[in-house]
Amino acid sequence: MGNTLYKKLIDRFQSPETVLTASKAEFESIGKISTKTLYGLLHHKLFMEQAKIELEQIFKNHIHIVTLNDAFYPVLLKQIQDPPPFLTYYGTLDNESPCVSIVGSRTATSYGLSTSENLSFKLASKGFQIVSGLARGIDAMAHKGALRAKGKTIAVLGSGLKKIYPKENESLFHEIAETGTIFSEFKVNADPIPGHFPVRNRIIAGLSCGSIVVEAAKRSGSLITARLASEYNREVFAVPGSIKSKKSEGTHSLLKQGAKLVETEMDIIDEFHHFIHKKKETLSQVPLESSESGSYPGRIQDRPRILNFLEPYPVHIDIIIEKSGMKSSEVASQLLDLELEGLVNRHQGNCYSISEDYH
């Protein structure tokens, strides 16, 4: 049975118990149902043993279940056309705090990774739950940013809860489960097959009042999330990148189609100001300014001159030396100081970029 039919049956009969006591005529009155599905509904007791085995496996692994009929099923997700009949999850559910999803490339640039983490950190600090897919790249950094803010984050898997994917994010999986939520609509031991990921993207979009795409190529799975968010009448945001970067072709395409451009977290907060609750005690009590300015105040005369020659995209040290006219030893010394202050990021190949936290 598909999720759309399941929701239609629940809307008509109000509960699974009532569905399973309905007659053939009652089922046929709600529209076309395949012969196979109709047989399964009318003879559901034949499948009860299989269901019991699956339930035992879930409870044995200390996994929780929330069904479409439960009061604490995610409110926004329930509104889509084909919500999962049930979700298995680790962690705790929070239906009070608004959700925003951050998605993007698995092979992101350093600019994309730092942007994802910083946006997540600042939005989580304001009380938003950050939703993403636990994939490497943009997704992982979105989860990490929320955790750094002592905020909540939700990971939606394209596999069962006992098949953590990718393996490199196993520790991140457990860290999220401690304070946030890990969701899956698949069987506990379901493998992360390719077809699962586009399907789970509808949950990411459905949970969220808006979706932010940080970096995406032309044929990125993140664009599926953005398209679904638009279909669900949720806001779609895109972070612009370099016109020379293929990783930004997808995000630029979204902007051309009317997605809202994101330069800072305020572009999202202004759109969702009515969702923002007072910061809960569990969230970070550290003001954002403390992570933005380092030991250099905003006055021009207090900023090291070398910052004028750095950009959000990595620049080779030789170019910095050439543009600044400074001695190589002086440039290296200042870059080291700024790196220690968190104002500059160092990349492979002796390249440097200005931190996203620096204004």
149's tokens: 């803010």
Q: The domain 99-288 is classified under which CATH number: 3.40.50.300, 2.60.40.10, 3.40.630.30, 3.40.50.450? A: 3.40.50.450
Pairing of strands 99-103, 210-213: parallel
Locate the domains of the chain by residue range.
1-42, 99-288, 293-354
How far CA 184 is from CA of 45, 100, 297, 352, in Å, comes to 26, 18, 46, 39
SS3 labels along 57-73: HHHHCCCEEEECCCCCC
22's tokens: 């309905």
Q: Bridge partners of 65?
A: 88
> According to the model, what pLDDT value does residue 296 have?
38
> According to the model, what pLDDT value does residue 282 have?
36
> According to the model, what pLDDT value does residue 102 have?
97
> According to the model, what pLDDT value does residue 357 have?
62
Distance CA 329, CA 174 (A): 44
**Rounded mean pLDDT for each run of 10 residues along the chain, 359 residues in total:** 89 91 89 89 90 90 92 93 94 93 94 94 95 96 96 97 95 96 95 94 96 92 93 95 90 94 92 62 34 37 69 83 85 83 81 72
Residue appearing with tokens 């496996």 = 57
Distance CA 84, CA 200 (A): 10
> According to the model, what pLDDT value does residue 302 have?
43
Pairing of strands 129-132, 153-156: parallel
pTM: 0.76
SS3 labels along the chain: CCHHHHHHHHHHHCCHHHHCCCCHHHHHCCCCCCHHHHHHHHCHHHHHHHHHHHHHHHHHCCCEEEECCCCCCCHHHHCCCCCCCEEEEEECCCCCCCEEEEECCCCCCHHHHHHHHHHHHHHHHCCCEEEECCCCCHHHHHHHHHHHCCCCEEEECCCCCCCCCCHHHHHHHHHHHHHCEEEECCCCCCCCCCCHHHHHHHHHHHHCCEEEECCCCCCCCHHHHHHHHHHCCCEEEECCCCCCCHHHHHHHHHHHCCCEECCCCHHHHCCCHHHCCCCCCCCCCCCCHHHHCCCCCCCHHHCCHHHHHCCCCCEEHHHHHHHHCCCHHHHHHHHHHHHHHCCEEEECCCEEEECCCCC
Residue 203 half-sphere exposure toward CB, CA atoms < 13 A? 26
330's tokens: 């002086």
The widest CA-to-CA distance across the chain, in whole angstroms, is 87
Amino acid letter, residue 112 = G
Q: Is 293-354 a domain of CATH 2.60.60.20?
A: no
